[in-house]
């Protein structure tokens, strides 16, 4: 491992070797020799990682909660903060269902689905839920379709292309959703050039939230409640700079910090 980590960070080296060897992290340190072909492939991948290519794109895989999804240059790489969005949202939905169990049929829309990780996580956690996974990018939806099929969820997760909640694909659902959830593009355009070079390799469409980063967030907060039934939830991942904008549009929104202490989530229940 020390030799492996000379060209990339230890975390990147571990990630690549776990993929190449198909072993959990702790087995990387048992002292077994690495086959020459594996070592050669590692060096090639490490060189690309050193040049700024995300290791998740190199391995075509990223973890999300308790499962893996295929990722490549067509989609955003899932982050731990988005895992936490799902966990916190599920807590609210389950609390709302109370003793009806989450066997009650729920209708969920994941807006800006990307790899489909949120939609898949919710479908797995809510066995009776129907989920619409929506994205503006056809290329991203192709990746989501691959991941949905991988987990046998094609009958429960419907894929759709839309750029706005006002498009008929979504507007016709008015008052019918139990949950509208989104990890939208929320990076302010001027900040894009200052992002880490690995992040700059990810799709701009999935990152760029407009001049102040709040273009899609504002659309969700403004038009989302009309799609949600009474008692349903709107759950959004936001930038730390968006608290004031969200509170102005939705004074009753619950704004929460992530595990690192940064403003990250907005939850709004329709009463």
Which tens digit of pLDDT belongs to each residue from 34-74? 788 888 888 899 999 999 999 999 999 999 999 999 999 99
On the question of pLDDT at 134 being above 80, the answer is: yes
The residue ranking higher by pLDDT, 101 or 76, is 76
Please give the Cα distance from 100 to 117 (Å, whole number). Answer: 26
- Report pLDDT for 22: 79
Backbone angles phi, psi at 180, to 5 degrees: -120, 115
Q: What is residue 222's DSSP assignment?
A: H
The residue ranking higher by pLDDT, 17 or 163, is 163
On the question of pLDDT at 103 being above 50, the answer is: no
Would you place residue 212 in the very low, low, confident or very high pLDDT band (cuts 50, 70, 90)?
A: very high
Query: What is the average pLDDT score of the chain?
Result: 92
Which residue in 185, 241, 171 sits closest to 215, CA to CA? 185
Average pLDDT over residues 175-186: 97
The residue ranking higher by pLDDT, 204 or 38, is 204
Average pLDDT over residues 107-124: 98
Average pLDDT over residues 188-211: 96
> β-strand 263-269 against 228-237: which pairing, if any?
antiparallel
Please give the Cα distance from 137 to 202 (Å, whole number). Answer: 13
- Report pLDDT for 97: 62
Q: What is the model's pTM?
A: 0.92
Residues constituting the chain: 271
- Report pLDDT for 5: 57
Query: What b/e string do you get for 53-71 counting C-beta neighbours within 10 Å, with b at 16 or more?
Result: bbbbbbbebbebbeebbbb
Please give the Cα distance from 233 to 107 (Å, whole number). Answer: 11
């Amino acid at each position: 491992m020390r030799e492996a980590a000379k060209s990339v960070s230890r975390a990147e080296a571990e990630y690549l070797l776990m993929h190449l060897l198909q072993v959990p992290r702790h087995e990387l340190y048992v002292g077994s020799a690495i086959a020459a072909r594996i070592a050669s492939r590692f060096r090639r991948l490490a060189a690309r990682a050193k040049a700024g290519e995300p290791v998740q794109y190199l391995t075509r895989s990223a973890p999300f909660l308790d499962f893996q999804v295929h990722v490549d240059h067509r989609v955003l790489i899932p982050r731990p903060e988005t895992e936490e969005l799902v966990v916190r949202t599920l807590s609210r939905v389950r609390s709302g269902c109370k003793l009806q169990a989450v066997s009650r049929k729920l209708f969920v829309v994941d807006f800006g689905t990307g790899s489909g990780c949120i939609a898949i996580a919710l479908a797995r956690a809510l066995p009776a839920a129907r989920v619409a996974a929506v994205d503006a990018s056809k290329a991203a939806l192709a990746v989501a379709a691959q991941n949905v099929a991988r987990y046998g969820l094609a009958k429960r997760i419907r894929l759709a292309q839309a750029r706005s909640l006002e498009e008929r694909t979504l507007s016709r659902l008015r008052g019918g959703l139990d949950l509208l959830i989104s990890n939208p593009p929320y990076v302010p355009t001027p900040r894009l050039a200052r992002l880490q070079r690995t992040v700059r390799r990810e799709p701009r469409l999935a990152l760029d939230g407009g001049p102040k980063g709040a273009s899609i967030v504002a659309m969700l907060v403004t038009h989302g409640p009309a799609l949600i039934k009474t008692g349903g939830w709107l759950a959004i991942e936001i930038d730390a700079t968006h608290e004031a904008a969200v509170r102005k549009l939705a004074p009753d929104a619950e704004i929460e910090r992530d595990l690192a202490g940064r403003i990250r989530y907005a939850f709004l229940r329709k009463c």
